[in-house]
Structure formats: structure tokens, C-alpha cells
Structure 1
Amino acid sequence: MKALADPDNALAHGLATIRDQFQVPDAFPAPVLAAAEIAAARAPAQHVDRTDRRFVTLDPAASTDLDQAFAIEPSGADLLLHYAIADVAWFVDDGDALDTEAWQRGTTRYLPDGKAGLYPPILAEGAASLLPTGPRPAVIFTVRVAPDGGVRLDGAERAIIRSAAKLAYDSVRDSDLPAGFAELAGRIQAAEDRRGAARVDPPEQEVAALGDGTYQLAFRPLLESENRNAAMSLATNMAIADALQAHHTGLFRVMAEPDARAVKRLRHTASAFGLTWPDAMPLTEYERTLDAIDPRQAAFMLAIRRAGMGASYVPYRDGVVPWHAAMAATYAHATAPLRRLADRYVVRATLAIANGQTVPDVVTEAFTRLPQVMARADALSGRIDRAVIDLAEAVMLHGQEGQVFPAVVTDVTDHGARMQLRDLPVVANVSAHNVTPGDALRVRLTAADREQRTLSFERIN
């Protein structure tokens, strides 16, 4: 899970249990490793030489599975984003052992103590990764970004690139980045605001030791470099989605807006955190006012993320415009093929249409099967993420049994109430009847079971 850091290994035992429970693989089968060894030695043969163009990567400092590298150049009033994406399809053949294993996994699975990759490390963190250790095969998408933030796919090509630098979010300087990086990100973000996009990027959660044997959940707001980097991926995925839709093909990421009940729960959650959300202000407008530096606002940003209707994948359908409510746009996933199975096929389709070629039948057929495969993978990742959060909450509150917490009812269930603690980013059930959403409660923690990853509260008022 990328959104929870555990530098002191407070969760180690519980994480081992979670890995066992959800059968998170700790290795690849021998045939897959053998196929990866052979694939890693495959020399690029369909790629133009773009090693004269200065590409860089920007990621967490410890990352080695680098999907994206970028270069930027002006073109009149526009900016051209050359977004290089790891050419995973060059190494993975349809139906081979690597492909079969990737269809079983669907995505890379993240936990605080490590990940279970979609592809073996010799590829994902070696030959296919856009590391600055030598030339790498890539697919370069050239995206034209207008002054108003409008995006258009100008071209796509297989190319050999050489990353000039592996830059890290927490240490990068403006002088390390291509000229136009901040301007491009600003254009994309301004366009989001005008569209009314509701893309929320919550801060990372960290398990912090307090020094007395107890822990707390703390927040690390995203750095400006992270938000700007995300804008490049957003621009590319939107441009690709528009191109695919125009050519009557593709696989799209869609998401409905939170329904009225979810928004009502969020209003009660905002009240629990002491936040002022004007009655007449829509959620999409209010969430753009939130500041992740404030712990309560940061916790509310996480609540918004969890309240979403959930994103899914759909293939192209005649007469249907796929829509992602949070992006307020037609959207696709194409920029993380080392970590998501679906991206490999979207990249292949985009490469074909951008060069006047027919999308391969195997790709079109994959678009019909991928929604179910990705839904299963996403659901499993969601269950793992929820288990990790439950564990972190139990570790944080262990030893505080008997303490009283203020809370607010956010929803009523058949078995009681769902509540949000006022001072902690914890949502839990409590046996409380004759209450309505928005009611204030005082609850006592009766158990924080780290083994079962459960919290128990009793109402005291």
C-alpha cells in the first residue's frame, strides 16, 4: 500500500499475517523467471534513436521500477511533452509465461513492507525500467499542451532513450528539471479547476512512534514536485483517451460521482472534524479548498477518497462517452505498464492508431477481458489496503483501552451506527440506537486487537 509508511516496522507481524491471508506472492514461478531472463536480453529492433533528447525521471527516491521519463520543449505558445513509457510489450509476448503470470496478478500489490510486482525484478527494476544506467526501449507519447491546458496527442513512437537523471521528489531542484515543467503542470491544474475536476490526492499516512511504546497515525502532505509530476501523467492519459475514443477503440477508466447518500455522510464527517462546509457549496468545489497541512483536513481528504463510487474499466462502446467524474474528462490508464496489466494494451493500441495502423486483434480482444481481470485485482488490492489500515489503527490505539473519544455518527446501519472519531482518522462501528447521522457521541475504546485488526467501542452518552 503506497499510502502508508511504516519506517519503524511497528506493523511487521501483522503485515506477515496479511500477506498469508491474502496469498500475496513472495516470488515468481521458475518458468516465469526463466522467461524474464531471456526477455531481458532482447535487443530493441523496432525503435528509433532518441538518445540525443534529454529525458529525466521523477519518482520516490527508493523507486527502481520506473515507468515514465519526460522531456519538454516549446512549440509556439504550446508546450510539447515527450512522455516516454516503459516498452513492456517489447519484452512480453502474448501468451508467454510472463504474460500468463501478469494476467493472474493484474497489478503490483503494495504493502508498507514491500511489494509483489506484476513482472519479475530483472524486467520491472532492470531491463524495462527507465533507469539512468543505459539506453532503454520506450514508447514516446508526444502530447501538445495548449496555454489553456487543453491536450492533444501529437504522435507516438517506439524509441531508444537514455535517462539523464533519476530525480527524487524530496530532493529535486527546479534547475534539475526541464524548462517548462512548472508551467506545464500549472496549465494542466488550471484546466482541471475550470472543468470542475474533483481529483483528490490525499497525503500519505505514516505510523509514527511516540517513544512510549504507543503509535499514532500521522500525515505527510504531497510535495509540490509530486503534484506537478502527476499533472504530466494526467495530461498524457487524457490525450490518449481522446485519441482512442476518436478511433473507436480503447479501454477507459470510468468513475461515477459520489451519490447523495455518500455526500451526506461526508458532510457529517466534515462536521466530525470541525470543518466548515457551506451548505450551498458542491463537494467538487469544497474539496479544492482543502489543505493537507492541516491534519483534520488531511483526514477528510482520505474520507473523500474512500467515499467515492469506485473506478472501473470499460472498453470502447459505440455511442457512449466514457467519463471519469473525478477527472471531469474521458480518461485512460497508459502510463504505468510496469505496475498495471491494462496499460500495456492501451499503449499498444495507441501506438497503432497514432501511426495509421490497425489495432492488433489480440489487443481488441484483451479490452473485452481486462475489465473483469482488473476489477478482481483492484478489489484484492482494496481489501489488502483496508486490512493494513485496520492493522495500523489497532496498533495506534493499543494501550489506550478505556479512553473516551468524541465522535460523530456518519451513517446508521442495521446493527448500530458508523461513526467518525473527531480527533483521529478512524471510522468504526458502535452499538448505538436511536441516533441519526450528524449526532455527537462519546465512546469508550474497549478493545484494540492487533491480532484480529479490530477496534471495539461502547457508547457512554
Structure 2
Amino acid sequence: MDSTAGETEGSGIDFARVRREFALAEQFPAAALAEAEEAVSDGPRGDREDATAIPLVTIDPPGAKDLDQAVCIERRGAGYRVHYAIADLGAFVVPGGALDAEVRKRGQTIYLPDGNVPLHPTTLSEGAASLLPDQTTPAALWTIDLDPAGEPTSARVRRAWVHSVSQFDYETVQAAIDAGTPHPSVALLKEVGKLRRAAALTRGAVELQLPEQDVEPHGDQWRLVVRTRTSVDAWNAEISLLTGMCAARIMLGAGMGVLRTLPDPDDAAVEWLRRSAKALDIPWSRETSTARLLAGLDPASPAALALFMDATRLLRGAGYTAFDGTLPAVTTHAGIAAPYAHVTAPLRRLVDRFGTEICLAVCAGEPIPEWVRAALPELPELMERSDGVAAKVARASLDQVEAWVLESQVGAEFDAVVLRAEATTAEIFIAEPPVLGRCAGEGLREGESVRVRLVAVDPSRRRVAFERA
């Protein structure tokens, strides 16, 4: 976690009450644990090729053990070849078994500041199924060839044995690239990542550069930080998005799958955003797309922060769309500006295992397994429910730390930016400590820098209140 801004200590209290409030599972059922142990003991199912000679590396936050992806990028003529290994949970989870039933209930890993609630038992998610360094691991190995502009010309996935040679974090890779000494496997990450980002802007993909609050331990206390996204983080994300787009094309070609979808905003919503930009004195020509306007703004500007917040209204309504035979009416994700499917994080997200199995079968010229087909109708509901829980837990955790951190500062004044204003209240962002809150006051304007006073803190209800100073 990054601590480049807004570090403030809070109390040494854990998040047990949040766990109880959302009924987060404390343990796996004995039968599910037994299945996981047996799967590790018996070894992964299925035949697979030996791809251990590919020098894959992982890039994750420091200390991560549930490693879903490993990458190696090579030059191929005037273009590129991306090797992208994804943890193969289908090699361990028995369809219809006790473990399968439990992970369907969970939907995804839930992250809290004091530890996560994993989707799979850690013997799998942090052990035999994780792409840990110096371990030969079963994987779904994607090979994606790109042309000189970074556009895919072919993509296939198959089961393989892989061997990660190094585990890196984002800052380490960023420092090595900046110094001109990157690991050979990611020496082309910057080049390919920039091409993919340029392609995203051409497609009209929307990226909001809002401050990302986070919590990190500080001794036996907690502090709020703003997580700064490195360029490597963004380039690495483009490889994951590329794979998800290739997976979506395979599913659409097969007439079966589950997509991550988001309808395009209607003209009225875009016009509303244009009026918001005008009110914030942000120039926006008719020839400039929403994606290019937002990408060109300075995220440190108060007006830009307010417009990013307003632009979140263009990205509402995301969901999961399963189909079998008849293609759905909406096949694209407006934020990505292309068809897209989740397949790159199966250790942490349920739907990825099923999407991967579809792509594996199609690429192998084999029938899609019946257990996958049978699960498709229920996957959207399972994922949307777990997405909702994950979002509420994350917000509750941040609200709790905000209350702990601010408890002793009632009456203090802070500099803030108005992100969204209503008649008598506004949503504000305070940079130090990094807090999102509500502020009472008339006449507040979006994008305005204001001085606010903390008037109340209630840690038991996880609430803080400000007023205009």
C-alpha cells in the first residue's frame, strides 16, 4: 500500500464488528477444507503442456500471496507476443462438490484492513493454485499476439505447467523501468502498455482519476492514505483488460459465456456532463471525446476532481450478462468501450473460473462442460450480490477508520474540495487526512476549494460531519 499522502494514525481497534455486521464467513466448512486438501494431495486434474521454460513474473502489492497472474512479453517481428498465465482453479475445484458450493456462496474474496475473507481456502489461494515464485503451478496460459500498434491478431488459451521466476511489486518494477534496468520479462511492458492505453482512448474507454482512499496498519494503529497509482500499475492493468477482451471475443464467437457489461450512456447524460464541465470552467470542444477530455485533465485540480465525480454517473448500471445461444442485447462495457469478460482473477473472483473454462474448451475444440453451462444462469446474481457486499464492507471499513482518526479533532478546520453539491449539503474531499465526507452549508459549488470544520464524530455509527467554516 502507498502512503504518499495523508498519513494519520487512528486507534488500535480491529474490524470484527464490520465482519459481524455483514455476516462474513469466519471458516470454511469441514467438507470444503477436506476437498481442498485432497485436491492438493492428489495434484491438479487434466493434461497440460509444459511451459515452464517461459520466464514469467508476477506484479502485485507487497506481501501478496494470492497471485492470479504472471506475465512475460516478447517482441515478435514488428509486433509483440504476450504470455499471460492465470491461476487454474478448475484443476482443483470439483464441480458440484462441497468446495464448489461454498465458493458460490462467497462469490469473491472480501478485503478488510486487518485481513481478508478468502474465496478459496488458503491452501489453494496462497499455496498450490497461486502463481508463487519458484513453484511449478498449473495455469491457464494465454498467448496473445499483437501487431505493431498493440492490437491483438490472435489469442488462445490452454492448460499448462508454468514457473514464475520472480515476484515483484509495482514500485519495484516502476523503479527498475525508470532506471533503465527492467527484468527482461517486463522490459516491453511500458511500450505495450502505452500502445494499449492509446488504443483505449481511441475506442473511447473512460478512466476516472479520483483519489483512492486506503487503510494501512501503523504499529497497533491504523492510518488513512491515498493510494497513488504508478504507471506500471496502469500498464499491467492494460494486459489484464486485453486478456478479458480477447476472452469476450471467444465467448461471443462460441455463442456462450458471461460478460461484464455496461450500457452506453445516453445523449442526455453526456450533455449533462458537458454542462457540468462548462460550470467548472473546463473547456470541452465538440470534437473531443469524453475519454480524451477526462484523460487530459490534471487529477490534482479541484475542478477536475469534481468533473471526475460527476462522470461516475456515466458508468452506472454495470452488471454480468450470461448467454447461451442467443447473444444479449448489450455485449459491451461502456467504461472499456469493448466487449469484456472477467477471466484473470479466479483466485479472488468466482465468475473467472467459469469464463476460463469456456475459453479453454473453445480453444481446444472441445464441448463446453455441462457443469459450466448449467451454472451460467445463476452467475450474474451470485456476482452482483458479492460485489454489493464487497463494496459495502470496503466503505464501512473506510468510514470506521475515518471516525477513529478524526475522533479527537472535533472543532478542527481542514482544507477541502467540493466534489458534488446539493442545495444545503455537499460531498467533499479532504486531502489531509484523506477523507470523503458530507459538509453542511449553502452555496457550495462543485470544484470549489473551501475551509470546513469538523462538528461531530460518532465512531460507533461510523459517521463524521462537517460544516463550512
SS in 2 for 1:171: helix
SS in 2 for 1:379: helix
**8 Å contact from structure 1 (residues 3, 204) kept in 2:** no
Instruction: Give 1:175-194 correspondences, 5 Å limit.
Output: 175-178=182-185, 179-194=187-202
Q: Which range moves more in the overlay, 416-425 or 109-118?
A: 416-425
From 176, 200, 217, give the equivalent of 2:208. Answer: 200
From 387, 391, 395, give the equivalent of 1:382. Answer: 391
Q: Which range moves more in the overlay, 313-322 or 373-382?
A: 313-322
SS in 2 for 1:250: strand
- 2:409 corresponds to: 400
- 1:235 corresponds to: 242
Structure 1: distance between partners of 2:69 and 2:217 = 34
Structure 2: distance between partners of 1:99 and 1:289 = 45
Instruction: Give 1:155-166 correspondences, 5 Å limit.
Output: 155-166=156-167
Structure 1, unpaired ranges of 5+: none
User: Which residue identity does 1:49 align to in structure 2?
Assistant: D
Structure 1 residues 312-334: Cα deviation after superposition (integer angstroms, max 9, x where no partner): 11013426351111111111100
Q: Shift in Å at residue 73 of structure 1?
A: 2.6
Instruction: Give 1:245-324 correspondences, 5 Å limit.
Output: 245-257=252-264, 277-280=282-285, 283-291=290-298, 294=300, 303=309, 307=313, 308-316=315-323, 317-318=326-327, 320-324=329-333
TM-score (norm 2): 0.84
Q: Shift in Å at residue 305 of structure 1?
A: 8.1
- 1:137 corresponds to: 138
User: Which residue identity does 1:227 align to in structure 2?
Assistant: A
Q: Which range moves more in the overlay, 119-128 or 43-52?
A: 43-52
CA RMSD of aligned residues (A): 3.7
User: Which residue identity does 1:75 align to in structure 2?
Assistant: R
- 1:332 corresponds to: 341
**8 Å contact from structure 1 (residues 409, 417) kept in 2:** no
Structure 2, unpaired ranges of 5+: none
SS in 1 for 2:172: coil
**8 Å contact from structure 1 (residues 55, 164) kept in 2:** yes
Distance of aligned partners of 1:427 and 1:169 in 2 relative to their CA distance in 1, 3 Å threshold: closer
Distance of aligned partners of 1:409 and 1:362 in 2 relative to their CA distance in 1, 3 Å threshold: closer
**8 Å contact from structure 1 (residues 107, 118) kept in 2:** yes
**8 Å contact from structure 2 (residues 14, 114) kept in 1:** no
Distance of aligned partners of 1:407 and 1:136 in 2 relative to their CA distance in 1, 3 Å threshold: closer
**8 Å contact from structure 1 (residues 266, 410) kept in 2:** no
Give aligned pairs, total: 451
Structure 1: distance between partners of 2:32 and 2:6 = 31
- 1:41 corresponds to: 41
Q: Which range moves more in the overlay, 237-246 or 26-35?
A: 26-35
From 357, 360, 363, give the equivalent of 1:354. Answer: 363
Distance of aligned partners of 1:215 and 1:337 in 2 relative to their CA distance in 1, 3 Å threshold: closer
Distance of aligned partners of 1:86 and 1:207 in 2 relative to their CA distance in 1, 3 Å threshold: closer
TM-score (norm 1): 0.85
Q: Which range moves more in the overlay, 236-245 or 435-444?
A: 435-444
Structure 2: distance between partners of 1:142 and 1:34 = 34
SS in 2 for 1:41: helix
Structure 1 residues 273-294: Cα deviation after superposition (integer angstroms, max 9, x where no partner): xx752254664233212455x3
User: Which residue identity does 2:403 align to in structure 1?
Assistant: A
User: Which residue identity does 2:377 align to in structure 1?
Assistant: T
- 1:10 corresponds to: 10
Correspondence 1:343 to 2:343: no
SS in 2 for 1:37: helix
**8 Å contact from structure 2 (residues 454, 467) kept in 1:** yes
Structure 2: distance between partners of 1:110 and 1:268 = 34
User: Which residue identity does 2:197 align to in structure 1?
Assistant: Q
Q: Shift in Å at residue 114 of structure 1?
A: 1.3
- 2:25 corresponds to: 25
Structure 1: distance between partners of 2:335 and 2:361 = 28
Structure 1: distance between partners of 2:3 and 2:257 = 29
Structure 2: distance between partners of 1:140 and 1:385 = 32
- 2:420 corresponds to: 410
Distance of aligned partners of 1:285 and 1:382 in 2 relative to their CA distance in 1, 3 Å threshold: same
SS in 1 for 2:13: helix
Distance of aligned partners of 1:187 and 1:407 in 2 relative to their CA distance in 1, 3 Å threshold: closer
**8 Å contact from structure 1 (residues 70, 84) kept in 2:** yes
- 2:171 corresponds to: 170
- 2:107 corresponds to: 106
Structure 1: distance between partners of 2:336 and 2:122 = 32
Q: Which range moves more in the overlay, 119-128 or 217-226?
A: 217-226
Distance of aligned partners of 1:126 and 1:456 in 2 relative to their CA distance in 1, 3 Å threshold: same
**8 Å contact from structure 1 (residues 57, 165) kept in 2:** yes
Structure 2: distance between partners of 1:268 and 1:422 = 21
Identity of aligned residues (%): 35
Distance of aligned partners of 1:203 and 1:76 in 2 relative to their CA distance in 1, 3 Å threshold: farther
Q: Shift in Å at residue 304 of structure 1?
A: 6.2
Structure 1: distance between partners of 2:5 and 2:198 = 31
